[in-house]
Structure formats: C-alpha cells, structure tokens
Amino acid sequence: MSYKSLEHTTDAIFEVNAPNLEEAFVAAARSVIETILDTSTIEEKEEKILAVAGKDIRYLLYNWLEELIILTITDGFAAKTITVSIEKNSEYKISAKLRGEKIDIKKHHFKVEIKAPTFHDMEIRQDGAVYMRYLLDL
C-alpha cells in the first residue's frame, strides 16, 4: 500500500495504490495527516473511533478525508496508527480506530492547513487492487 503526492501549485494531489479498499483508505488517511504534521513525533496515547458513511465509494472517500481533516485541524488530534473496516449495504460505511495524541504544534511540526477535500479530478478504480486519485484544497 502506498500513496504519492503529485506536483500542483496551490493544492495537494495524491494517488493511492493498495491491494484492497481498507488499505487504500488507510493510505488516504496517512496522506492527510502527513500533509499536516510530522507523524514520526506522534505517540500512541489515546484512541479515537470514527464512523463515516457515503452513498457510493466517491462520497465515502470525500467524507473520510473531510472527517480526518476535522479530527486533525479542528479537534486537534494527531493520529499515528489507523485501522479500518469497510462494509457495503445500502451505502458504504467505514469504522475506524485511530491511535495518537493531542496535537502539540511544536512537537508535531505543523506544516500546512488543509481546507477541504474536493471531487475535482477524483478517480477510484477497483480492478483487484485499488487505485485512488484525489485533490485536497490547501
């Protein structure tokens, strides 16, 4: 599982490649958190639970990225490890556990604020493995 940042002048564009949907969403979470903070300095002192839903896979990704931005920027939680499970019934749902600690701007070396995810240029393919591409508005 991996993600890479693509060059863009004012936003952050990411591509994720993973063997399955769960690992793709963990990589997407890491892309958000590592854009905002230095995750090597985060200690696993607390656990947070997130539940996110979306009417389809694109909305699930958008809502997931948005919740992670809120958790990090607004709630001030720095996540180090993330586990997710995804289920699909009438809609997609993620249940996630995140371990980390309260943000300390000096300790976690705050880098940049992400305003929001966007649907612009969003792409998700599931052909055995999972490919995702998305843009975050900085």
pLDDT at res. 10: 77
DSSP string across 41-73: G----EEEEEEEEESSHHHHHHHHHHHHHIIII
Judging by DSSP bridges, how do beta strands 46-54 and 2-6 pair with one another?
A: unpaired
Residue 124 lies in a domain: yes
Give the mean pLDDT of 113-122: 94
- DSSP assignment letter at 74: I
The total number of structural domains in the chain stands at: 1
Give the mean pLDDT of 69-98: 97
Residue 32 lies in a domain: no
Which pLDDT tens digit goes with each residue over 3-52? Answer: 767 665 678 899 999 999 999 999 999 999 999 999 999 999 999 999 99
Residue 9 lies in a domain: no
CATH number of the domain where residue 60 is located: 3.55.10.10
Residues 61 and 118: their CA atoms lie apart, in Å, by 10
Residue 50 lies in a domain: yes
Give the mean pLDDT of 49-64: 98
Question: Is the pLDDT reported for residue 103 higher than 80?
Answer: yes
pTM over 0.95: no
Domain span at 82: 38-137
pLDDT at res. 8: 58
CA dihedral 73, 11, 61, 81 (to 10 degrees): -50
Tokens of 103: 């943000």
